[in-house]
Structure 1
Amino acid sequence: MKLRHIFLLGLILLSSVINAQQKVKNVIFMIGDGMGLAQIYRTQQNKGDLTLLQFPYVGLQKTNSSNNDITDSAAAGTALSSGVKTKNGMLGLTPDSVKTISIMELAKKNGFLTGITVTCSVTHATPAAYYAHQPHREMHEEIASDLLLSNIDVCIGGGKKFFTDRKDNRDLLKELEAQKYKIALSQEDLENIYSTKVIALLADEHLPKMSEGRGDMLPNSVSKMLSLLNKENKKGFFVMVEGSQIDWGGHANDAEYVVNEVLDFDKAVKRALDFAAKDGHTLVIVTADHETGGMSIIEKDNKIKENFATTNHSATPVPVFAYGPGAETFTGYYDNTEFVVKIKSLLGLQ
């Protein structure tokens, strides 16, 4: 048994040395909105082994906002993207309303390519935290306007109505086209685009649930985004991918909704992991912004069953999974503001 432990320790140390020798060129940061360990375990029970659970490095992060032990997605998104705690509801601002700079904005400033792929509106709290600076997450039209200032290379999700059906009568899609962006309004449109500067708005607001026929939109969009960016990838890229609707299943206390969305997100994780394994210089980080539903796994009538404690978020710390060069940096227990510090160091961002 001792020899076996020594052998396993040797493998871990060897993996750490190899990771340390490889330079991080690209970062794929993946957020399962509302995804805690119970959500992952329940999905594994129903569907078998998950890609998520094959990651070699695992950590744990705490999620509180600046003004509440229980965060919302705007404050959590700001912490994850900018490394700054803020009040619930605020996006890309400190509690005193000073603009933060997100890791995506910093990467772009340093010559990296950038991208976002989500299953909600691209103006929703988590994606917006990477490019917008607004006092409240519900300011969707103002958030959409911020996207025009971001110079993002690929952005895929929903939310078309916030770009076209606006109180100020601006047509932001025409303004994006004037900036040389290619606009896709369907998955087919997206598949027929072969270079970056792409905005794909595949629904008026949010994409359908998996149970309503969304299909492989998320994994396919992740593959498309990575393919587009990799064609023009000289310095590297930073992208954020969100499984947006795991959270909504938690709010609804709907275990089937949760499981379907975690499974879909896991497919997207596999696409990212396959890319990283082939590339050799890509770091994949998977985590959540918070846990939703206070979900636990209990026994009832001699069967394992889920139990929800709330229809809101909880303060429960959430898991972190990492693969690739620098992955060992993300083990341990730390605050959600630490991601930016770690990623900046690995990418050499100033």
Structure 2
Amino acid sequence: MSCGNESKTTVTPAESAPVISAPKNIIMVVGDGMGPTYTTAYRYFKDDPTTPKVENTVFDRHLVGMSSTYPDTHHSYVTDSAASATALSTANKTYNGAIGVDMDKNPLETVLERAKSLGKKTGIVVTSQINHATPASYLAHNESRQNYNEIADSYIDDGIKADVYLGGGWKYFIRDDRNLVNEFKDNGFTYVDSYQALETTTTDKPLFGLFDKKGLPWALDDTNMHRLSSMAKAATKHLENQKGYFLLIEASQIDWGGHANDIAAAMGEMDDLAKTLEYLETYVKSHPDTLVVVTADHSTGGVTLGAHGVYEWKPEVLRTMLQSPASIAKALETNDITKTKTNELFNFELTEDELSTLITVKSDTLKNIQITAITDEAKSKKISLEKALYTAVKKVIDGRTNTGWTSSGHTAADVPVFALGSNKDMFNGYQDNTDIAKKIFTLLDK
């Protein structure tokens, strides 16, 4: 069900420090799944082991508060990305799975839509597909986040609401039944499908960029490990104008690393986000009329820095990795597991026990596939050697780092809030995710 955009949110001004002047530009940054353990892990991951001090990161420099994330679903307390993004975009609690609609599936005005109605330019930059839960909750109104094609269609059918769209999603925007990329081009957009093309686009036309079929590759595997930063730079350049802009940036795949219980991939995504925030630090210095607010929609995976009662966390091997565990697993699936080859893939030396475990997992899984095929061929085809090896690779890394996980889903933990630039003090202290949206609405209406 695709909804229109008739109703508007009634916003109660949030209690805050007096606003001297509203920011011209507002940049909302969401680290999807980035609970407080992720920013702590990133500090230790980036620590210089040659110095006695643990160095601060860009997250430490701008931490201002915490936010609750619960949805409006019978006090379950654990949100999904759609409900939380809708809270962050509309200042309203709703049910898990809702895209820009309330509990009765009525559309709610978003901060992005309000900014556009006020004459500002708007944009989204994400590492997921651009019709995924978080960006969709700023741009669309739909009863279910799973209606990917409907949501993509609404980006045209309900009116074009942004001047910049950057992320993944060929699967949903170039379909047999409809080519939405061509429709955006017909509406005056420049279309790009490579990161390199971002560097040469002119700013006289709106920008539409898709760089993969669905979400982008893991940062560790992508042609540009800091692709979020590159896209953010292109977006700010394209959006600058006399009336200002609203930009949503999402580091989408921190969440995916949490769901997969993959600490190496998660730290790669955190590094991409950190480089983006470091860019925004310099941007705010030269554009002091810009506000940057950073938070997470929820925490994912229940990651623990220190497991099995051992009082240590050792990120050393994470710093050496040149590709994701998923990529390593794929290579192990198609190649013999030898000491030389495996050490090359991990970029550190495995112990005999670690190597033996990988060999055993591959051998046992292949045997299981063969045995199952005799009695249930269909079932045998569902047994994934790549998935079994991926689990084994992650187990090696968790063992080396002493990383623990409590869930493959979300948790109800509060998440950190960071802010820099104009009116950043409004976001100090504890707040609910709806409060963040209320404050942004207040600033937009000044």
**TM-score normalized with structure 1 length:** 0.90
Q: CA deviation at 1:301?
A: 4.2
Q: Is the 8 A contact 2:168 2:211 kept in 1?
A: yes
Q: How many residues align?
A: 328
Aligned position for 2:70? 64
Q: Is the 8 A contact 1:42 1:306 kept in 2?
A: no
Higher RCO (CA 8 Å, separation ≥ 6 residues): 1
Which structure: greater strand fraction? 1
Q: Is the 8 A contact 1:121 1:158 kept in 2?
A: yes
Aligned position for 2:216? 207
Q: CA deviation at 1:94?
A: 0.6
Identity of aligned residues (%): 35
SS of residue in 2 equivalent to 1:319? strand
Q: Is the 8 A contact 1:36 1:291 kept in 2?
A: yes
Letter in 2 for 1:53: D
Seen in structure 2, the aligned counterparts of structure 1 residues 208 and 328 have a Cα distance that, compared at 3 Å, is same
Q: Is the 8 A contact 1:28 1:272 kept in 2?
A: no
Correspondent of 2:236 among 226, 230, 236: 226
Point out where structure 2 has 5 or more consecutive residues left out of the alignment.
1-15, 48-55, 314-401
Q: Kindly provide the CA deviation profile for residues 302-326 of structure 1, in whole angstroms up to 9, marking residues without a partner as x.
A: 4224321111100001000111121
Q: Is the 8 A contact 1:184 1:200 kept in 2?
A: yes
Question: 1:1-350 alignment to 2 at 5 Å?
Answer: 20-48=19-47, 49-55=56-62, 58-67=64-73, 68-148=76-156, 149-166=159-176, 169-195=177-203, 196-213=205-222, 214-230=224-240, 233-298=241-306, 301-304=310-313, 305-348=402-445
SS of residue in 2 equivalent to 1:322? strand
Letter in 1 for 2:146: E
Q: CA deviation at 1:278?
A: 1.2
User: Larger C-alpha radius of gyration, 1 or 2?
Assistant: 2
Q: Is the 8 A contact 1:105 1:150 kept in 2?
A: no
Q: Is the 8 A contact 1:20 1:325 kept in 2?
A: no
Point out where structure 1 has 5 or more consecutive residues left out of the alignment.
1-15
Seen in structure 2, the aligned counterparts of structure 1 residues 302 and 85 have a Cα distance that, compared at 3 Å, is closer
Q: CA deviation at 1:191?
A: 2.1
Q: CA deviation at 1:296?
A: 2.8
Moved more, 285-294 or 184-193: 184-193
Tell me, in whole angstroms, the C-alpha distance in 2 between the residues paired with 1:118 and 1:65: 23
Q: Is the 8 A contact 2:206 2:238 kept in 1?
A: no
SS of residue in 1 equivalent to 2:306? strand
Letter in 2 for 1:223: K
Letter in 1 for 2:23: V
**TM-score normalized with structure 2 length:** 0.71
Q: Kindly provide the CA deviation profile for residues 288-343 of structure 1, in whole angstroms up to 9, marking residues without a partner as x.
A: 00000112323654422432111110000100011112111101212111112101
Q: CA deviation at 1:42?
A: 0.8
Q: CA deviation at 1:235?
A: 1.1
Letter in 2 for 1:45: Y
Letter in 1 for 2:70: N
Tell me, in whole angstroms, the C-alpha distance in 1 between the residues paired with 2:262 and 2:191: 35
Q: CA deviation at 1:122?
A: 0.2
Q: CA deviation at 1:189?
A: 2.4
Moved over 3 A (4+): 19-23, 299-302
